[in-house]
Structure 1
């Protein structure tokens, strides 16, 4: 066989093996489907967004910005990260250390505040793809890029 053909076959084989490994790894990480697939980014005078539209796989933090234009204080609630795979949202697992710092915090009316998720709180490293931060029945979409 021609040397170029052998190299081409080897490259294609490795690419296929890599794709299969990534799919297997993604299935291991994303086991639990999100309870709600469609979430707004704002409701009742409260809006959430991430500080950036895109984060890199090596980022050490994701910042959620909460703008409370309502007349009531928003109490602490769960802040979770979900990843989209094959058209569905899945919970991105946290380490066993407990909930993200959002629990117990309050967000006063007519104010903007932030919650920071340090990525070392996640059970797995971030990989490229579509993600969302969920908080108080809302979602802020963001991308993770290389």
Structure 2
């Protein structure tokens, strides 16, 4: 598979983060299937750990990200979503596309 990229950028962030666009760009020649499911990870002492979600219910419909196209998903990150408060630090949102996982980093600065 060729190179492909996802990005989500936050700088000086104050919670809650409502209706933020997570963008996906498929730079390959392959169609990629994805759903609405995502997870959050936090970097602690150089290691990424899963950040528990309170109620991680997502529908399983499949969406297609066509070659050389960009799609988006709107998400809201707030303390109702996570088991614990999102504190200052480095985070990333992880999504699966077909058999691949990609991560979109963001940072919360108090």
Task: Give the TM-score range, shorter chain.
Answer: 0.7 to 0.9
2:89 is equivalent to residue 125 of structure 1: no
Over 3 Å off, 4+ runs:
none
Of 43, 53, 62, the residue aligned with 1:104 is 62
Task: Using structure 2 for the length normalisation, give the TM-score.
Answer: 0.73
The match for 1:138 is: 102
CA RMSD after TM alignment: 2.4
Task: Using structure 1 for the length normalisation, give the TM-score.
Answer: 0.58
Unaligned runs of 5+ in 2: none
Contact preservation (8 Å) 1:79, 1:102: no
Of 49, 53, 57, the residue aligned with 2:15 is 57
Q: Which has the higher strand share?
A: 2
CA offset digits 1:74-119 (Å, max 9, x no partner): 10154211001122111111122413x6862221221111122222
* Distance in structure 1 (CA, Å) of the matches to 2:72 and 2:4: 13
Contact preservation (8 Å) 1:57, 1:127: no
- Give the length in aligned residue pairs: 102
Highest RCO, 1 vs 2 (Cα 8 Å, sep ≥ 6): 2
In our comparison, the structure showing a higher alpha carbon Rg is 1
CA offset digits 1:9-61 (Å, max 9, x no partner): xxxxxxxxxxxxxxxxxxxxxxxxxxxxxxxxxx73320110x2323233224
Unaligned runs of 5+ in 1: 1-42
Contact preservation (8 Å) 1:102, 1:115: no
The match for 1:12 is: none
Contact preservation (8 Å) 2:2, 2:29: no
Query: Residues 128 and 81 of structure 1: is their aligned pair in 2 closer, same or farther, counting only changes over 3 Å?
Result: same
TM-superposed CA distance for 1:145, in Å, is 1.5
Q: Which has the higher helix share?
A: 1
